[in-house]
Amino acid sequence: MKSRTDPRHTARKLALTSIFCWLFSEINDEECLLLAQDLLGYEDADPELTKSIIEGVKKSNNDIDRIIEMSAPEWPLDKISKVDLVILRIAIYELLYSKSVPEKVAVDEAVELAKEFGNDTSQRFVNGVLGNVIEHKKEHKI
């Protein structure tokens, strides 16, 4: 498990919580982030990384969801746990769009988030889908 004081891991937790907020509310990105910060109390997060992930996932959400559908064809998006879906969106953004995060780090961070926030099968599911994404990376044309 990641250290509680790792600002990059904490940034991913805030991004996860903020993006999750979009799924269930009409409030804007900034309000979701403020709510996440209030609820979780993470002051040591890397603010640039948090902002980059949130904006990147929002901008590329349709393409990311298409990649998830291709990488987990037996799991329609509406059947995937919402937490797992947000974790996958963050990881795929970092794997294919951000390009500043090594593959191993993006996958390890996603699995850690799945352990912390997901259910008993989340970490295996997330790891498997991301393995498929990496295996077929050239087909995604990003």
Asked if the structure places residue 65 within a domain, the reply is yes
**Is 117 a domain residue?**
yes
Q: State the total domains in the chain.
A: 1
For residue 113, the one-letter residue type is: L
Residue 2 lies in a domain: no
Residue 81 falls inside a structural domain: yes
Asked if residue 1 is part of any domain, the answer here is no
Tell me which residue range forms the domain holding 71. Answer: 7-140
Provide the CATH number for the domain around residue 46.
1.10.940.10
Does residue 79 fall inside a structural domain? yes
User: Under 8 Å CB-to-CB from 107, ≥6 apart: which residues?
Assistant: 91, 95, 127, 130, 131, 134
Predicted confidence pLDDT, tens digits, the chain (142 residues):
555 568 899 889 988 988 888 877 766 767 777 777 767 776 778 889 989 999 999 999 999 999 999 999 999 999 999 999 999 999 999 999 987 899 999 999 999 999 999 999 999 999 999 999 999 887 766 5
Write the burial class of residue 85 (CB in 10 Å: 0-12 exposed, 13-18 middle, 19+ buried): buried
